[in-house]
Structure 1
Amino acid sequence: MSETILTSKKLSIFQLFKQAVRGDVKDFTTGSIDRAIFLLAVPMILEMVLESVFALVDIYFVNKISSEASSTVGLTEAALTILYSVAWGLAMGIMALVARRTGEKDFNAASAVAAQGIIVAVFFSFIISIIGFIFPKEILSFMGASTKVVQENYRFTQIMLTGNIVIMLLFVNNAIFRGAGDASIAMRTLLIANAINIVLDPLLIFGIGPFPKMGLLGAAVATTIGRSVGVMYQFYHLFNGKEIIKLVKKQFVVNFEIINSILKTSFGGMFQFIIGSCSWIFLARIIAESGESTTSGYVTAIRICIFTILPAWGLANAAASLVGQNLGAGQPDRAEKSVWRTAFLTLLFFALVSVIFFFFGEILMRFFTSDEVAVKAGTLCLHILAIGYIFFAYGMIIVQAFNGAGDTKTPTIINIFIYWVLQIPLAYFMAKYLKMGPTGVYIAIGISETILAVVGIIIFKKGKWKLVKV
């Protein structure tokens, strides 16, 4: 009898998993909250895992070129965080509006928001492309790269920044699908993009078979091609008329009322990520002063962290979608319960990751690099961050819950205090005045993220986010 029950439960979970991947359910305003979290989170987690694979695949092959190449990727990624900030912020605002309109069952309005959001994304990416094409050397120099790295590898930075439109659209289009409760398409988009990147990376970097040996440039070209195909797949689903969001050409006439609403909701999200990105840029510069091998180790360790943080972002995005849809359906209590439940599940995940980082950090580093200095620096980074990792869970989920409700102002204020008032001065003081170097930077990151979680929980419990109108 017990075996039958156990088999039935396994079958039920498997069926739910298949349902989540297929994306059959779009409405999450009724039924079990745990079931809603599972159906939304599974494709979002898989999506974020696939997004993090981009980073790991690139750094795996680039580390085989040289530490200078790895350092270039890391410093370029640090510069690209500004772009990611704009993309994430814009995506948050669009997701919040699409989720709210979807919760209200106003699908035409949700589609209108999606179209105008794409217009805004293209506008921002055009400006960044011009800057990236003209000033790649200056950007790398500003990030602390050596003269040799700048002269030999600036074209990698140029390609990544000039072709940023595919990054921007990838973020925004997937936010549209998530807001509409259709996370499975977002997941499949990243699966396609990753598959292409994984195949092209070694072919173009090392010149295998008929492909030219492009070195570091090959990584940039492979990533850009993969993401471009992913964007085309997204547009196919947005325009085929079979999904909740149905885009048509006439919707792509500039509507300043909708754009103003998007920017008003997105601005806080953009600014809060720019705040965090500027902090990471400052920290990267401190690390860069310790040498290219140490920078390479830091970059590799951060890529490993991203591999674990992005799946957790899948849970955070699930929480944001649930908040938006349930507030739109007039169910604030259900929205709050969804957040606490998702935060607890994320806590369990991060606790497991912390144990892995603490006991197997060196093994993970050696998988990606044989540079002993890089291994030592990266292992230390993983060990220190592991201590504060479990606090990241609540901070991440709470901040996304605010954004999902359309309250991007609150997390922006929190980020200003945590990153600019606390993290940057603390990292500089510990690294420079206490002569702790990179160790001081790692400790400052752990302390600031822990405090962010505590502050976020206190403010979230007050419940003002339930009253936000978008």
Structure 2
Amino acid sequence: MKPALSLTTDPIPKLIWQIALPMSIGMFFNTMFNVVDTFCAGWLGTEALAALSLSFPVFFFVYAFGSGISQGTTALLSNSLGGGNAADARRVFAQALLFVTIAGIALSIIGWLTAPWLFEQLGAEGKYLGTTLAYMNVILAGGVFVLLPMVINSALSAEGNTLPYRNFLIAGFFANLLLNPLFILGWMGLPRMGVGGIALATVIVQIGGGIYLWSHAMKSEIHRGLKFRDLKPEFTILRQIAGQAIPASLNMLTIAIGVIVITWFVKHFGQEAVAAIGIATRIEQIVLMPSIGLNFAVLSIVGQNYGAGHHHRVRDAWITNVKYGALMMVAGGLIIMLTREFAMRVFTDDPIVIAHGRDYLLSASITLAAYPILFITVFALQGLKRPIYGLWIGLYRQLIAPIIVFHTLTFTLAWGLWGIWWGVCLVTWSAAIFSFIWGWRKIGTKPLQK
């Protein structure tokens, strides 16, 4: 089936909006999916809210591998399609499915073995630890089903088709809205599962999404002619996928590491502070959503045009996406600044949690515009099959700089929680500036080389 868009000839602004808008809408509902989880956990109390916040790093370890493999696969597929090599794209897609299945099983096992120790290091014990594990163990059991939809979608994204993924994320939100109370509260004769019910609803939605996306992937150019025997390991292709996916996954994993780092600092100020950062970052993600689709747009457009040798379009796609993203998030920052207390009150009536979250969102309103500059540049470099740059930036932003800056501001200068909140702002903006300079050197001033 011929793609509806031509990523190598259609005008860049048209492509950006036709790819980014459906993805942004879908990612908004994906974030609202998580918001529903947070809201439902609030029914169970502050301990359940804190448990979800504490579980996020481990859950993200699983998600990051899937996202990295998806990004790497999309880059390889779009490069092949841009160069007119549909058969090579089909082989890469088959091997990516094999790769992510093996990785998903391995990550689930590793998670089961390490999660209790990690949660204890982050301050969970007794009933608090049990609540956290009740959620995380179910997520880990369905790890493969969390990963597969992202990789199946890479075949569609490489062609610029983001509509099926948008539809899945919207439907998944409404399904989660129904399933959460069903499992949490034990409606219709089911046992009350508490936070474990939140996790079970997530896994069921992902299974349904994988089936739906596969039905659309079967109609794509990449799937045409795909045979079961194509799943036989081809180590040359698996190495190519690993070369793209592992740095991208590690870059995504630095986000989980960053959450662990910030949680470690925040835990010194009590369970309420941990709950507050969990709620506030969800609110921040909602406002960030309109710009997220630009990441996927720049990856697909840059990937295909790089494969086709249209280097001027690579530069145009990167710069145009950065401009759109930064402008949107200046407006988003203003929204957060004006509504931050009201937004916190939607999720909790605990005055301490509200106060901590309100303070974080003040600094977040200034930080927001840095994220699209940073992320769009990293995704553009991924489209050039240069994922290692994102990893170095990720290590700086999530591990090296936060440890130094948070400790200095929070403890040495005795700013308390304000040291963490403004430390996030300082570190993120510096990473955005570094990444833009790096991107300009690789994309903006030099002829591109394969």
Give TM-score, length-normalised by structure 2.
0.94
- Match among 379, 393, 403 for residue 358 of structure 2: 379
- Match among 117, 129, 134 for residue 138 of structure 1: 117
Name the structure 1 match of 2:16. Answer: 37
- Match among 214, 218, 223 for residue 245 of structure 1: 223
SS of structure 2 residue aligned to 1:109: helix
Q: CA deviation at 1:374?
A: 0.9
Contact 2:5 2:15 (8 Å CA) reproduced: no
C-alpha separation in 2, matches of 1:288 and 1:63 = 19
Contact 2:267 2:273 (8 Å CA) reproduced: yes
Q: CA deviation at 1:152?
A: 3.8
How many residues in Structure 1 have an aligned counterpart in Structure 2? 446
Name the structure 2 match of 1:467. Answer: 448
Aligned pairs for 1:25-174 within 5 A: 25-174=4-153
C-alpha separation in 2, matches of 1:152 and 1:270 = 28
Aligned pairs for 1:145-224 within 5 A: 145-224=124-203
Deviation track 1:159-197 (CA, whole Å, cap 9, x = no partner) reads 112211122112222233212222112212222322221
Which amino acid in the other structure matches residue 33 of structure 2?
F
Contact 2:292 2:372 (8 Å CA) reproduced: no
Aligned pairs for 1:261-280 within 5 A: 261-280=240-259
- Structure 2 CA distance for partners of 1:344 and 1:242, relative to 1, 3 Å: closer
Name the structure 2 match of 1:14. Answer: none
- Match among 296, 301, 326 for residue 305 of structure 2: 326
Name the structure 1 match of 2:286. Answer: 307
Q: CA deviation at 1:398?
A: 1.0
Contact 1:351 1:389 (8 Å CA) reproduced: yes
Contact 2:52 2:132 (8 Å CA) reproduced: no
C-alpha separation in 1, matches of 2:64 and 2:124 = 22
Deviation track 1:39-58 (CA, whole Å, cap 9, x = no partner) reads 11111112211221221110
Q: CA deviation at 1:121?
A: 0.7
Q: CA deviation at 1:368?
A: 1.0
C-alpha separation in 2, matches of 1:313 and 1:468 = 28
Aligned pairs for 1:279-298 within 5 A: 279-298=258-277
Which amino acid in the other structure matches residue 288 of structure 1?
K
- Structure 2 CA distance for partners of 1:260 and 1:24, relative to 1, 3 Å: closer
Q: Does residue 1:228 correspond to 2:207, yes or no? A: yes
Aligned pairs for 1:413-432 within 5 A: 413-432=392-411
Deviation track 1:400-456 (CA, whole Å, cap 9, x = no partner) reads 111121111222222333333322211122222223233211111111111111111
Deviation track 1:333-366 (CA, whole Å, cap 9, x = no partner) reads 1111111111111112111110111111000010
Contact 1:97 1:110 (8 Å CA) reproduced: yes
C-alpha separation in 1, matches of 2:125 and 2:282 = 22
Name the structure 2 match of 1:367. Answer: 346
- Match among 367, 388, 395 for residue 409 of structure 1: 388
- Match among 436, 443, 459 for residue 415 of structure 2: 436
Which amino acid in the other structure matches residue 125 of structure 1?
G
Deviation track 1:119-144 (CA, whole Å, cap 9, x = no partner) reads 11111111111133345432321332
C-alpha separation in 1, matches of 2:237 and 2:213 = 22
Contact 1:100 1:327 (8 Å CA) reproduced: yes
Q: What's the % identity of the aligned pairs?
A: 23
Contact 1:107 1:245 (8 Å CA) reproduced: no
Q: Unpaired segments of 5 or more residues in structure 1?
A: 1-22
Contact 2:67 2:252 (8 Å CA) reproduced: yes
- Structure 2 CA distance for partners of 1:341 and 1:212, relative to 1, 3 Å: same
Deviation track 1:14-48 (CA, whole Å, cap 9, x = no partner) reads xxxxxxxxx96242111211111111111111221
Contact 1:136 1:155 (8 Å CA) reproduced: no
Contact 2:135 2:196 (8 Å CA) reproduced: yes
| CA-atom RMSD in angstroms | 1.9
Which amino acid in the other structure matches residue 244 of structure 2?
T
Contact 1:321 1:404 (8 Å CA) reproduced: yes
Name the structure 1 match of 2:324. Answer: 345
Which amino acid in the other structure matches residue 467 of structure 1?
L
Bigger mean CA offset, 210-219 vs 329-338: 210-219
Deviation track 1:283-308 (CA, whole Å, cap 9, x = no partner) reads 11211222112211110001111223
Which amino acid in the other structure matches residue 426 of structure 1?
V
Which amino acid in the other structure matches residue 263 of structure 1?
A
Contact 2:3 2:159 (8 Å CA) reproduced: no
Name the structure 1 match of 2:236. Answer: 257
Which amino acid in the other structure matches residue 191 of structure 2?
P
Q: CA deviation at 1:79?
A: 2.0
Contact 1:200 1:222 (8 Å CA) reproduced: yes
Deviation track 1:101-157 (CA, whole Å, cap 9, x = no partner) reads 111122221121111111111111111111333454323213322332013442211
Deviation track 1:84-117 (CA, whole Å, cap 9, x = no partner) reads 2222221111110011111112222112111111
Contact 1:79 1:143 (8 Å CA) reproduced: no
